[in-house]
Structure formats: C-alpha cells, structure tokens
Amino acid sequence: MISRKEWEELRKKEKILKKATEILRVEEKDLPRVIERFKREIKEMEEKLQSL
Amino acid sequence: MATKKELIQEFQKNPDRYWKVKLFDELGFKRRQCKNCGKFFWSLKDQDVCNDSTCRSYDFIGKPPTKKPLDIFQTWKKIQKFFEDNGHAALNRYPTVCRWYPLYFTIAGIVNFYRVDEEGNLDWEVPANPSILLQPCLRFNDIPNVGLNSKSFTCFGMVQQTSFFNGKEGYWKDKCIELDFNLLSKVFGIKPEEINFIEDAWIGYGAFGSSLEYHVQGIELGNAVFTEFAGNLENYREMKEKVIDMGAGWERFTWITQGTPTSYDAVFGPVVEKLKKKCGIKYDKKFFLKYAKISGKVNLDEYADLKVVLEKIASQLGISVEELRKNIEQLQALYSIADHTRALVFAIADGGLPSNVAGGYNLRVILRRALSFIDKFNWNLGIEDVADWHISYLKKMFPELEERKEEIEKVLQAEINKYKNTKERVGRIIQSFAGRKISEEELITLYDSEGITPEQLGIEVSSDFYSKVTERHMAEKKEEEKVLLDVSNLPKTKILYYDDVLKFKAKVLKVSGNFVVLDQTSFYPTSGGQEHDTGYISGLKVVDVFKLHSVIVHQLESCNLKEGQFVDCEVDKKRREILKRHHDAIHIISGAARKILGYHVHQHGAEKTEEKARIDITHFESLSEEEEEKIEDLANKIVEKSLPIKKYVMKRGEAERKYGFGIYAGGYIPSRVLRIVEIPGFDVEACGGLHGDNTKDVGFIKILKTKRIADGLVRIEIKAGEVALDYMKEKERILKEVAEKLGVKEENVPEAVKKLFEDWKQKRKQLKKMRKRE
C-alpha cells in the first residue's frame, strides 16, 4: 500500500485531470487524443489562414 | 385460503369453544346477535344492537363513562402500571419503519415480534413473556377516513398485550379477557354493562384464530386475537405455542376519558388548538358536535363512495350534502394535517424518507395530501411548524423525536420544495389534457411519475384513490427465485468460505448439465450483492456459483464430473481478496454516509464486483462535491485507523438487543442466527458476505461517482485497495501524458487546455471569416 501523502498526491492529480476534461467535456481516457486533434487542427488551420 | 368471513362461519359452529371465556360465565355475559349488523356479541345488558360504531353513535361524547379525563401520557401510565402489576414486562417501543420483517412499516404491535425463519415461515422473536408495550404504528390503508370519522389515524399508538402460551409459560383466553375487562372496569371505571365483546376472527401470515373485540358506547377500544392455528382453514395444525395478541387503541382510550367531539381533539394536545388559531377556522360547534357523534358511521372502506356516505349522514342531520361538506371540510383537513404530520415525525425520526421508492412513497402521499389541504384553503401554515408542535408535546415520552428534530425539519423541507416544484408544472399538465376528463388511471400515473395530487389539479377523486395508490407500494417485498435444477432431495451444503479456505476436497452429490452440487464448498455464491467466487473444480473452470435454498450450486464452463466422485477444488484467491475488500469498503462507506448525511440514510441495495462496488442509499437529494469528499475522507480515516472488522455468529434476538435494528441495513434476514459484522464504534450490520479482519487491509477507498438514480435514492460507486490504486495511477498516467503533449507542468494542464481550446475556437472563427470574404 501507499502512504497517505502519496494517496493525497494522486487525488490532487485526479482533480487537475477532472478540471481539464470538464473544459472540453470529454472522457478522461480520451483527453490525450483530443489534445492531439486540437493541436493538429490548429496547425492545419494556421496553414490555411496563411495560404488565404 | 379462507376469508375472515368463512373463518367466522366455521367458528360459529361451536361458539363456546372459540369465544366463550370463564369471565362470561362468572359475571353472566350472554351471547346475542345484533339486529343491525348481524354480528354476535357478549354483553351483560339485554341489548339487541351491539356497541359497534356502525350500529350506534359515539355516546361517550360529552359524557365520558370513565372516572376522570386523562391525557395521552396519563392514559398510558395507567395501562402500563396495570399490566406490570399483573406480571407483564414493559417493553420499549420498536421503530415505526420495519426492518426486521418484510413490511415497510410497523402496522401493529405484534409485528415487533414477527421474524422469518430459514424456510421462509413466520417465526417469533420474543424478548419477554407476557409483555406490554405502546407501539406507534403506521398504516396507510385508511387515509380517506382520517379526519372524517373522528377515530382514524395513519399514525396511532397500539397498546400491545402479548402472551405466548405453551401450558407452562404465559396465559390464554380466560386470563386475557379477565385482564382486559379489569382494565376497562376497575382501572378506567367503565361500568361492566357498557362493555360488549364482539365475536371476530383473524387470519394472516400463515396463522389464524378467533378474536374478541371490546366495544364501549360506540367505540372499539381493543381486539384480543387468539392465534392458535398454523396454516389455513383447509390444512392447519394447532400451534404448540398459542399467542395472545391484544391490540388496543391508545388514542381511543384517551378519547373516551375526555369525551371530546373527536379523538384528534383529545390526543394531539395543544396541536389542534394551535392549528385552529393559525388557520383562523370558524365553524358551528353545535352542529359539529351533532356530526361528530354519528361520524363513526363513516367507513369509506365499506361504502367507498364519499358522496353516498355524506348523503346518509346529511339526511340523518336533516341538512343538504353541500351544507354538511361546508361545515366539516375545513376541520377534516385540519385534523388530517395534524395526523399526517405526526406520522411523518415518527417515520422520519425512525429513518423513513418520503420518496418515490418502497415505503417512502406512502410518506410522500400523506405529506402531499397535507400540503394540498393547506393550498386548498390558502392557509398560512408550515408543516415544519406543525411537526415542531408535535415534537414539543410528545418529547417527554419520546425524547428521540426531539433528538432528531433537526433532521426531521431538513427532510420535510426538502420534500416540501419538491412539492412546490411539481406545483409549477400543474398548469402545463392541465393544458396537455386540453379540457378532456382525466381518467383515474391517468391520475394515478400522474401521481406516480410526477407526484401531482388530484387536488392540485382541482379534481375530486373517489375516496379510495389514495388507498389504490398506496396499495401499489404497500405490497410485501417478495423475492424472486429462479429454480434451475431440483435440489429438494439434497442435504444442506457445508460452508467453508467463512474460514477462508481456498483449497479443499469435496464429494460430487449431483451433476445436471454444467451444474454441480458438492457436499461442501468454499466457493462463495452470489448473495447480499457480493459476486460469486471463481476458480477450478478438478481443473474445470467455475463460472458461476449461486444458492438454491440451502444448497450451493456451481456452474462450470464444461463438465465431465460424475456423482459420487471426489474432486480437488481451488478458489481464485485474487478475485476473492478484491471482493472482500470491496465488501468491507461498502460497509465503511455506508457508515460514513450515515454519519455525514444523517440518520435517514439506509442501504437500499448494493453490489460488489471485482471491478468496483456500489451502494444505493436513501437520501433526499443529489450529493454535492463537498459531501462526496467528506464521505470519502471519513471512509479513508476509518481505513487508516486500523480498526478491527469483527465477525460474530449470534442468536437473532441477542444481536437485536445488543445492536438495535440498524443491523438490518440491507433488509430482513430469514434466519434465527445472524452473522454480525462490526467495525467497533463505527458500523455494525448483519451480513452474510465475506470480509477481511482489519480496515487497514481494505486500502484507500475512492468514490468514482455519485448519482441520484431515483427520487430519494443516491448511488455511490467506489473502488478500494489495489483496484482503486490502479484507477488513480491510470489517471496520473493520463495527466502526465497530457502535460507532456502540452509541454506544461501537470498543475498547469487545465489552464493550458483552456488556452488550447480558445486558440482552436479563435482559429476556426478566423478561417470562417476569411472564407466568407472570399
């Protein structure tokens, strides 16, 4: 088992993750993929904006 | 099953055997037949009409036949002293919310002693013999009569005189009637010639017997039931231990000593006067007195149609039905509010909760009925105030009501708010029916789904409307059983799982397809919400384990076993440990929820699987994040405290006396012995599941989510120990991955995500704008 301190550290991280997923309204497990998608789309949009 | 009527007819073939007692001969009581109702009764006086309220008026109103007026406390004191002086043990009251027998509420004093044995039959749990107690009871089948016939209540005190007679201990009919007669005549000073004993019978819960109701001047004060046969009229046996079950009306005894127009005026202390003043009720006292005297004839169970009953009474009083209504409806409403609120006070104090589930529904019905009356007459009255008046009056006898006052107010307030919300929807609903008549079925559905009363819609319903609604929810809880194979000839399986046995040998007793029964097993069957064990029997995978009566059945993936063969068995240790931890964690969460949210929190259901566990608790609203955190924190404090998890096998009665009825957290248990699981000073429950030895072994508990799954029910999902740790580590991993992708520190992830999202939205907007320009 882990210590209370380590557990509290995990709870803290859990809360941070929850907050982040609430912004995008996605499931936690999907968050890395969604971030990737946004980054890719931003890049694509920037390229398009430059070409216009 | 014979009806009560058939039973009486059968007993009437030999009335002396079933109803005559020594006292009747000694004092000269004669058997007579009432020319009005046809019932047989015993009296000293030569009378051709019996003393039942349907046959005569309440003659004691204005001129009580007793020595002096008594309030409810003095009445009980006198009764208790009399029975104690006559060798009865005085017992404390039981809760009004029944957790020890498959009924939602304690509907009679005798229910206190009802239990279910291992075979599912009625069993008895008797702390003393003979005994006397005052039991507050709740019944919801008589709602329309409350306030109308001057004597009906949804919450009433039953004076319960009980004797179990086996030839050595206790007493039987002669002594019972002698005691009851002396109580009436010597203690209360009622003249013997005023007393009638009316022949009746009782049947229910697999037992039956004759009974004698005692009536004085138009009111039934008590009913002594002589339960002596088990079974039904077609197939019965005489019980070895016969039961005297005498239930008398605490309110009625008080009423007859005071001779007030209604029993409500006599028993609610200052509450009725306060209500009259607060609501500004004005009524014709002389007229009401005339009505009250004959109001006993109102019995909506028999007549069902209120209009017909009122017509009869109006014609007797020589006025129109409209005039009658006008004169009584406000008082009826006021008395109903007083009664319904007192019922709610007792029920909530005992852990009941108005809701849409189980018995909670009945509490909602009466609260909304009371609120509808307030709306109808536009009274400036708060139910919480009425509850407070009742508590102040009753606290000297029931101090627990005062102790739980704050919680009672909180629960009432939450329920009143829900009622107000439904009121706002009323207009919309009326429109949706576009002027057509709403059928009774639709009204019941509206009540069930939206909680909207017919009164709120301005619709007058038949008097049995609320009975129909509540009956839907009053049915005894029955468990469904799926019989997959015949185990009737097999012996009870010897259980090894409580000793933590993981490897064992056993003999195959029965094989049917892939189903196998062994002489002994350590495979835990799915029960009490805990999933079954898995493992191997002779190398064959165990995929399911369940219980059929007292036989445990194993379902294998495939089976080539033969009956009589000996097999080596092994339980999956990892799964077993996780299930145990989840079960421990659910007990801890249950205790924590009760401590954080209140006494009304009870387990409605639970499930413990390998992946996670859940508990459904009774609570009136969704949990806030703060409440969730408090519950989780307290649960983890209990884990860290390293408290022992003690398991005992105890006799049922001993466990009840030691721990109270809170042990039936998950409902009644059909057994004479109980397995008690105790976390000292924190939680104690009767539980047949598997548990560890110390809270520290559970590991940290994580609440995954909470959700209001029905009105009055909240589901809490958890993970515990390694499973919880894996879950949290996965979150940690995701956060790390996201932080890396965003190139920020973990604590800055939300901010970075927000920035990214804004950036994405802005770019999209720009692009759209540019495209438009093109």
Q: Give the single-character DSSP code of B151.
A: S
> What proportion of chain B, given as a percentage, has pLDDT over 70?
95
Q: Which residues contact B215 (CB under 8 A, 6 or more apart)?
A: B41, B50, B51, B52, B53, B195, B196, B197, B198, B221
User: What is the tens place of the pLDDT at every residue in B643-664?
Assistant: 999 999 999 999 999 999 999 9
How far, CA to CA in Å, does B151 sit from each of B141, B263, B296, B324, B462? 14, 6, 7, 19, 20
Tell me the nearest-neighbour CA distance from B398 into chain A, angstroms. Answer: 44
Provide the sign of the torsion angle of the four alpha carbons B323, B327, B330, B334, taken in this order: negative
- A-chain residue closest to B732, CA distance: A13
Tell me what the mean pLDDT of segment B429-433 comes to: 76
Answer yes or no: is pLDDT of B336 > 60.
Answer: yes
Query: Which of A7, A36, A45 is opposite residue B767, by nearest beta carbon?
Result: A45
Q: Which residues of B lie inside 8 Å of A (Cβ-Cβ)?
A: 636, 640, 696, 699-700, 721, 725, 728-729, 731-732, 734-735, 737-738, 741-742, 746-747, 749-750, 753-754, 756-757, 759-760, 763-764, 766-767, 770-771, 774
Answer yes or no: is pLDDT of B453 > 80.
Answer: no
- B-chain residue closest to A12, CA distance: B747
Answer yes or no: is pLDDT of B690 > 60.
Answer: yes
B304/B465 Cα distance (integer angstroms): 10
Tell me what the mean pLDDT of segment B107-133 comes to: 92
Answer yes or no: is pLDDT of B752 > 60.
Answer: yes
Tell me the nearest-neighbour CA distance from A5 into chain B, angstroms. Answer: 12
Residue B622's φ and ψ, nearest 5 degrees, are -65, 155
Tell me the nearest-neighbour CA distance from B640 into chain A, angstroms. Answer: 9
Contact A16 B735 (CB under 8 A): yes
Answer yes or no: is pLDDT of B476 > 50.
Answer: no
pLDDT score for B631 = 98
- Partners of residue B754 in chain A, C-beta under 8 Å: 23
Local confidence band at B475 (pLDDT 50, 70, 90 cut-offs): very low
Contact A49 B750 (CB under 8 A): no
Tell me what the mean pLDDT of segment B628-634 comes to: 96
The pTM for the full model equals 0.87
| Residue A6 touches chain B, beta carbons under 8 Å | no
**Least confidently predicted of B14-23, B142-151, B428-437, B508-517:** B428-437
A4, A14, A21: best mutation site toward chain B, by most B Cβ within 10 Å?
Answer: A14
Mean pLDDT of chain B: 91
B595/B591 Cα distance (integer angstroms): 6
Answer yes or no: is pLDDT of B502 > 50.
Answer: yes
B401/B490 Cα distance (integer angstroms): 50
Answer yes or no: is pLDDT of B670 > 70.
Answer: yes
pLDDT score for B511 = 94
Q: Token pair for residue B147? A: 């306030």
Q: Is A49 helix (H, G, I), strand (E, B) or coil?
A: helix
User: What is the tens place of the pLDDT at every residue in B510-539?
Assistant: 999 999 999 999 999 999 899 999 999 999
Q: What is the ipTM of this complex?
A: 0.96
Contact A35 B750 (CB under 8 A): no
Instruction: Scan for tokens 């093109």, then name that residue.
Output: B774
pLDDT score for B122 = 85
Local confidence band at B627 (pLDDT 50, 70, 90 cut-offs): very high
Helices and strands (H and E) in chain A: how many: 2, 0
**Least confidently predicted of B208-222, B321-335, B402-416:** B321-335
pLDDT score for B211 = 97
pLDDT score for B478 = 39
- Partners of residue B636 in chain A, C-beta under 8 Å: 4, 7
Q: Token pair for residue B747? A: 């604590």
Bond from prior residue into B130 cis (ω within 30 degrees of 0):
yes
C-beta of residue B262 within 8 angstroms of C-beta of residue B292: yes
| Residue A47 touches chain B, beta carbons under 8 Å | no
Answer yes or no: is pLDDT of B303 > 60.
Answer: no
B696, B705, B728, B737: best mutation site toward chain A, by most A Cβ within 10 Å?
Answer: B728
- A-chain residue closest to B771, CA distance: A52
- Partners of residue B731 in chain A, C-beta under 8 Å: 10, 13-14, 17, 28
Task: Find the length of chain B.
Answer: 774
pLDDT score for B268 = 96
Q: Which residues contact B71 (CB under 8 A, 6 or more apart)?
A: B254, B269
B701/B692 Cα distance (integer angstroms): 15
Q: Could you say which residues of chain A have pLDDT below 70?
A: none
Q: How deeply is B767 buried, as exposed, middle or buried, from its count of CB atoms within 10 A (0-12, 13-18, 19+)?
A: middle
> What proportion of chain B, given as a percentage, has pLDDT over 90?
73
